[in-house]
A and B are shown apart, each in its own frame.
Chain A
């Protein structure tokens, strides 16, 4: 059974500081996605990582994927209050489906980030 673990589950940090969220998974996959969720809201796509060594950056967030280590990281640089949210990683898993195969996403439990002024 595929397990997707995020670490830490809760992160309180001060504005201006740097930190990294880790996403470990237990089976082979070379595709991983990061989403953001604000309280009571839906999920917003942040990054799509499609190969080993992929690195994507958007503003103060940078995501990377190491498929050999089965690890993705989400690095926060100089945090600001607006980044406060829950961040989910989701691993892409191939499954039987119509026409042969399809894919489904297995989500981590999320990391609740609170950036304090």
Chain B
């Protein structure tokens, strides 16, 4: 059953804690992305990775970190340095061989800071 999975679906964090959001894909896609969505707004790019062991900052990388040790996995850590982390986080993937940039999205993780 191919697709993109994100876990957990809901996550609650206390202030000062680091939390890690999981994104796994079995589509054999090369590129993976993390976006943040705030209520009533569009998506903003946090980090992206085109290949294993390489990743780049997006527009709002401060307070976040990522790793890309395997092609299938691109976890996102929300650190205590992220001052307003409550948001909906979406992971996306793209097949690098295609020339255009259509991205496919996972189901998302809703993070709430208590």
Partners in one complex: yes
Q: Which of B41, B100, B110 has the most CB atoms of chain A within a 10 A radius of its CB? A: B100
Q: Which residues of B contact A35 (CB under 8 A)?
A: 105
Interface stretch, picked from A12-20, A39-47, A57-65, A72-80, is: A39-47
CB-based contact B41/A109 at 8 Å:
yes
By secondary structure, the A interface counts as strand
Q: Which residue of A lies closest to B49 (CB)?
A: A98
Size of the A side of the interface (Cβ < 8 Å), in residues, is: 26
Q: Given A33-B101, A43-B90, A48-B100, is A107 in contact with B42 using a C-beta cutoff of 8 Å?
A: yes
Size of the B side of the interface (Cβ < 8 Å), in residues, is: 25
CA distance A103 to B54 in the complex (A): 15
Is B27 part of the binding interface, using a Cβ–Cβ cutoff of 8 Å? Answer: no
CB-based contact A92/B101 at 8 Å:
yes
Instruction: For A110, give its contact among B42, B48, B100, B106 (CB under 8 Å).
Output: B42
Is B95 part of the binding interface, using a Cβ–Cβ cutoff of 8 Å? Answer: no
Q: Which residue of B lies closest to A112 (CB)?
A: B40
Is A117 part of the binding interface, using a Cβ–Cβ cutoff of 8 Å? Answer: no
Q: Which of A42, A108, A109 has the most CB atoms of chain B within a 10 A radius of its CB? A: A42
Is B112 part of the binding interface, using a Cβ–Cβ cutoff of 8 Å? Answer: no
CB-based contact B100/A43 at 8 Å:
no
Q: Which residues of A contact B58 (CB under 8 A)?
A: 104
CA distance A107 to B33 in the complex (A): 14
Instruction: For B50, give its contact among A4, A88, A102, A110 (CB under 8 Å).
Output: A102
CB-based contact B105/A42 at 8 Å:
yes
CB-based contact B107/A42 at 8 Å:
yes
CA distance A11 to B102 in the complex (A): 26
Partner-A contacts on B (CB < 8 A): 31, 33, 40-45, 48, 50-51, 54, 56, 58, 90, 100-108, 110
Beyond the given A104-B33, A105-B43, please list 14 additional residue pairs across the A-B interface where CB-CB is below 8 A: A31-B100, A41-B108, A42-B106, A43-B43, A43-B90, A45-B103, A88-B42, A92-B100, A92-B101, A98-B51, A102-B50, A108-B42, A109-B42, A110-B42
Chain A to chain B: the 3 pairs with minimum beta-carbon distance, closest first: A107-B42, A103-B101, A43-B105
